[in-house]
Structure 1
């Protein structure tokens, strides 16, 4: 059957606004071939990334039901930090079962006051409430994170890195030619490292904004080796360009905890808003943070009156974490010129799905940059009261983010932020806005990469010189993430 593809729409109708007069090459980027997606490619072979690998255990895997092993006493009416931490430590000392779970720490109904920060540092430990009747409440007028999962970690190179010898590896490719495959085997976990160089910074117009002191590190697994060619389990979300950088592949160590979770409860950060310095520290008033953590989750959690920089702070070292069916309500920020973030994705293969935020003056769904992707926001709603604000990448080349079926009372911006803030520059690259409902959206195309929108509604803002498909008219399938996941797993 011939693939029926959506055609690129380089010029919107007047009612939708007009993109830049510089038209991109006409490419039929996406469509359906029978019941599966078909992909178009540009002249270099780049395509819309496969974002379906985001989520717990690589996407499409149901969250486990972990047996409760430790029960927390009823709330004391005083600071319960010590009692809760003791329960977490007790569970952490239990032997893991065959699936790697030590057990759930079960909290009963009531309001547990937390004067400090709870820390989960062992794999296989889940904090579980009894539904909305269980409340974790900040106690004390001091901005902080109430729960942290994992510690900081660092990459360790194993063996000698092999150079990628291809002149160009396009977005969406998972096959690389190396200088040598000696020491590599099928099944090895590897990093594909793409260093940032001054030559590339100059090519994308970020001289004086970006600095060549960071890399994109794609964590992948080798599925096949043929001579000096390897195949990876997950395609890349950024091109590897020999003219700008020398990418390498190596086996690695990166200590993380896994199989940890937070579920079935609510939280209240209101006490922190009384901090005398709240106007400058509200960024720190957060419910949780994931550090070096993988294959973990948050589900069925409602948070009220927090203000932090990422109520769902999935940090740059997190991987394959799902945040499902959550709400961040009535966020309390200030009139600072900088804004807080409601849902913040970093790391790689992370998923936020079926979420809701109500707030004023926030970045509702955003990334911090320098993440390798893929990462996904899907079926989330932002109801920004009093003052509308934005969603989209915040800074520094966040590669491979999908904004899927978002409803935003504000703008969705996949753009070059230039010298704004601390010098944010290009904030999204190879990212996609798909069937999003907005007040307005701007899609800009970075040099050496693409940004796409398909079927988004709202005013198409000026200077939208990215790949804009079907502006003002939703497309099928309804969800890109769901369809890509079905294509891969069926």
Structure 2
């Protein structure tokens, strides 16, 4: 359906009605309800548009369609999905292996009762004080969180199961007892934002913009899977993550997007361009221009894997770093990035609110930087292959071919080809 054209006033309500009309349609065999097409012109958005049903796409008519923030209030212009919580189905089984390595896909369980090939499961790895001590994070990390790897069983042999996607953090019985269980987790799917432009400049007039976590963002994905953003150009946004792929997002692709002329503040914590959380998410072919920004970053306690690939950041004044921001961002691939500034896969110690090891089992691959630092966490790894720029002091991670790119040109492309029938 085609939404009404721009009214000259606040268009939030009319666009939300069009979205809600599409959301009321039945799902088709492919899991879609319909697309809401926006006409060319400048739509003024005084509130927040919300897509909370599966199979709804918001589609512009190309760059001539502009979603413009209206009013001096910092916010997210479009949110996808609500938040959710895990529900355990049946009795969790213990992982019986003394050690399952990074990249592991096979687990021996105390029981496979209730599990079948195709079962959607969680591999839960609780954080313990023993592990925190082993990685040197006493007083920085606290044992009140878990990594939850959402996976699918592809084979069962006795009490041994095979997973569809490798683990990004090792399971070490000396530090923690991992479990496996079937689960429920309500998500919406097959929602998208595509083929338009956006302007967030009006939000920078918010009196709290420069002092608070203002979050002047274009989009945010909550409990969403198998969805996308494509062909979107955004100007003059700021805040904590323009690519707001939150911790409950999964298999979301952000393709061919630009975050230009970002309006950021003096606080590094409030200046992220593309922020990845969740698991199995992809940001590719993106561009950032800003004065001060963490261009490509992750927040912590994420199960991964996640990918930044073939993205460029041009910083016109002060350079900030890219890389994991805090608390064990696990299994991130930084593939063919070009960054004005530094790329850091490091221990941030007590920086900020106590960020500690911010990347673990992550890889920088054929990245072009002013400088890069790759450190090796205890019990884990970080790698750099073929990266150019100054190799910074303290890089005790696994460094291969510094200053000279390696083949294949893109690790993401090669892995995709390897797993595609």
> Which category of TM-score, normalised to the shorter sequence, fits these structures?
over 0.9
Aligned equivalents of 1:205 and 1:222: distance in 2? 34
**2:347 matched residue in structure 1:** 416
**2:378 matched residue in structure 1:** 447
Across the aligned residues of Structure 1 and Structure 2, the Cα RMSD in angstroms comes to 0.7
User: Secondary structure, in 3 states, of the residue corresponding to 2:417?
Assistant: helix
**2:140 matched residue in structure 1:** 209
Aligned equivalents of 2:352 and 2:265: distance in 1? 17
CA apart distance, 1:280: 2.1
Of 163, 180, 186, the residue aligned with 1:249 is: 180
**1:382 matched residue in structure 2:** 313
Aligned equivalents of 2:268 and 2:305: distance in 1? 30
Alignment map for 1:451-490 (pairs within 5 Å):
451-490=382-421
Whether 1:87 aligns to 2:22 is: no
Aligned equivalents of 1:114 and 1:399: distance in 2? 36
CA apart distance, 1:284: 1.3
**1:262 matched residue in structure 2:** 193
Alignment map for 1:40-189 (pairs within 5 Å):
70-189=1-120
CA apart distance, 1:281: 3.6
User: Secondary structure, in 3 states, of the residue corresponding to 2:300?
Assistant: coil
Whether 1:190 aligns to 2:121 is: yes
Deviation digits for residues 402-433 of structure 1, max 9, x if unmatched? 00000000000000000000000000000000
CA apart distance, 1:282: 5.8
Q: Does structure 1 retain, via aligned residues, the 8 Å contact 2:239–2:270?
A: no
Aligned equivalents of 1:337 and 1:327: distance in 2? 20
User: Secondary structure, in 3 states, of the residue corresponding to 1:280?
Assistant: coil
CA apart distance, 1:337: 5.3
Q: Does structure 1 retain, via aligned residues, the 8 Å contact 2:32–2:55?
A: yes
Q: Does structure 2 retain, via aligned residues, the 8 Å contact 1:282–1:307?
A: no
Q: Does structure 1 retain, via aligned residues, the 8 Å contact 2:302–2:330?
A: yes
Q: Does structure 1 retain, via aligned residues, the 8 Å contact 2:56–2:192?
A: yes
Normalized against structure 1, the TM-score is what? 0.85
Cα distance, 1:337–1:99 mapped onto 2, change above 3 Å:
closer
Of 269, 275, 281, the residue aligned with 1:350 is: 281
Aligned equivalents of 1:185 and 1:136: distance in 2? 46
Q: Does structure 2 retain, via aligned residues, the 8 Å contact 1:88–1:125?
A: yes
Structure with more relative contact order (C-alpha pairs < 8 Å, separation 6 or more): 1
Deviation digits for residues 408-459 of structure 1, max 9, x if unmatched? 0000000000000000000000000000000000000000000000000000
Aligned equivalents of 1:238 and 1:101: distance in 2? 35
**1:325 matched residue in structure 2:** 256
Q: Does structure 1 retain, via aligned residues, the 8 Å contact 2:387–2:404?
A: yes
Deviation digits for residues 263-298 of structure 1, max 9, x if unmatched? 000000000011112112463100000000000000
Q: Does structure 1 retain, via aligned residues, the 8 Å contact 2:23–2:53?
A: yes
User: Secondary structure, in 3 states, of the residue corresponding to 1:186?
Assistant: coil
Structure 2: state its 5+ residue gaps: none
CA apart distance, 1:488: 1.1
User: Secondary structure, in 3 states, of the residue corresponding to 1:432?
Assistant: strand
Normalized against structure 2, the TM-score is what? 0.99
Q: Does structure 1 retain, via aligned residues, the 8 Å contact 2:268–2:294?
A: no
Of 235, 240, 246, the residue aligned with 1:304 is: 235
Q: Does structure 2 retain, via aligned residues, the 8 Å contact 1:419–1:425?
A: yes
Q: Does structure 2 retain, via aligned residues, the 8 Å contact 1:339–1:363?
A: no
Q: Does structure 2 retain, via aligned residues, the 8 Å contact 1:209–1:423?
A: yes
Structure 1: state its 5+ residue gaps: 1-69
**1:235 matched residue in structure 2:** 166
Aligned equivalents of 1:329 and 1:90: distance in 2? 32
Aligned equivalents of 2:5 and 2:18: distance in 1? 12
Q: Does structure 2 retain, via aligned residues, the 8 Å contact 1:143–1:281?
A: no
After alignment, is 423-432 or 268-277 more displaced? Answer: 268-277
User: Secondary structure, in 3 states, of the residue corresponding to 2:231?
Assistant: strand
Aligned equivalents of 2:159 and 2:54: distance in 1? 36
Number of equivalent positions: 421
User: Secondary structure, in 3 states, of the residue corresponding to 1:97?
Assistant: coil
